[in-house]
Amino acid sequence: NAGVTQTPKFQVLKTGQSMTLQCAQDMNHEYMSWYRQDPGMGLRLIHYSVGAGITDQGEVPNGYNVSRSTTEDFPLRLLSAAPSQTSVYFCASSYSPATGSYGYTFGSGTRLTVV
Amino acid sequence: DAKTTQPPSMDCAEGRAANLPCNHSTISGNEYVYWYRQIHSQGPQYIIHGLKNNETNEMASLIITEDRKSSTLILPHATLRDTAVYYCIVRGSGNTGKLIFGQGTTLQVKP
């Protein structure tokens, strides 16, 4: 089925561990982004990419790295997990036309707990 | 991207129309108004977007004022499944990219 696939759905990490959250889309969308959502809060943009090989920082980029080697994949890396990174992470994608605008498709989220 | 202002919460009776307001007084000419909703802890769901004309789809209608400084999302016949947090977002066109979420409006549909 077409859409945005995030893996894993749940993860528990110890402080200082590293991991990569995976995000893949099969809609040939140029634009991809990562958000985090803390309990009772709205979504905050971590990093985004407007195409393969191009990434940029969002509102809360510290502690996270991204890369975009293919159109389909946009992994998010936590180099040294901290309890403050306990959150739900959402990946999203969209067409990125020269003009006009399109809605985003979101994944179902990765629930990360850092102990 | 322009900032938006929404009421933190609203109630609506089941079967009635839900009208969710949004102010975006600093919107610029090439910025679109988007609406998303998030049901419980699921990923946000795109509802509708528009530039200056009113828009309608199978989910909702979007009414944008002539000066574009405010808009209203209308769910014509709200059901219990429409209980969610609704986000109004302004975003530039093309490759300007970023979609910045505010706090949204929590809509509670009551039987």
Give me the pLDDT at residue B2, please.
64
Whether B111 contacts B11, CB under 8 Å: no
Q: Does B101 touch chain A (CB under 8 A)?
A: yes
Q: Tell me the shortest Cα–Cα distance from B77 to chain A, in angstroms.
A: 23
**A35, A50, A108: residue with CB nearest B97:** A50
Beta bridge partners of A48: A33, A56
Q: Does B104 touch chain A (CB under 8 A)?
A: yes
Nearest CA in chain B to A33: B98
Cβ contacts of B101 on chain A, cutoff 8 Å: 35, 42-45
- pLDDT (tens digit, 9 = 90+) per residue, B30-86? 888 999 999 988 999 999 999 998 999 999 999 999 999 999 999 999 999 999 999
Is 60 exceeded by the pLDDT of residue B94? no
Token code pair at residue B6: 């929404």
- Best of B6, B95, B96, B106 to disrupt the A interface (most A CBs within 10 Å) is B95
Among B residues 6-65, those touching chain A with beta carbons less than 8 Å apart: 32, 34, 36, 41-46, 49, 51
Whether A31 contacts A94, CB under 8 Å: yes
Instruction: Verify cis geometry, omega within 30 degrees of 0, for the bond prior to B7.
Output: no
Is 90 exceeded by the pLDDT of residue B1? no
How sure is the predictor about A102, in pLDDT bands with cuts at 50, 70 and 90?
Answer: confident
Flag if B102 and A99 touch (Cβ within 8 Å): no
Flag if B49 and A105 touch (Cβ within 8 Å): no
* Mean pLDDT computed over every residue of chain B: 91
Pick the more confident residue, A49 or B93: A49
Give me the pLDDT at residue B86, please.
97
Whether A9 contacts A91, CB under 8 Å: no
Is 60 exceeded by the pLDDT of residue B13? yes
What share of chain A in percent tops pLDDT 70? 94
User: Phi and psi of B97, rounded to 5°?
Assistant: 80, -80
Q: Tell me the shortest Cα–Cα distance from B76 to chain A, in angstroms.
A: 21
Average pLDDT over residues B11-21: 97
Give me the pLDDT at residue B99, please.
79
Pick the more confident residue, B92 or A68: A68
Give me the pLDDT at residue B62, please.
98
R_g of chain B, CA atoms, integer Å: 13
* Mean pLDDT computed over every residue of chain A: 92
Beta bridge partners of B55: B62
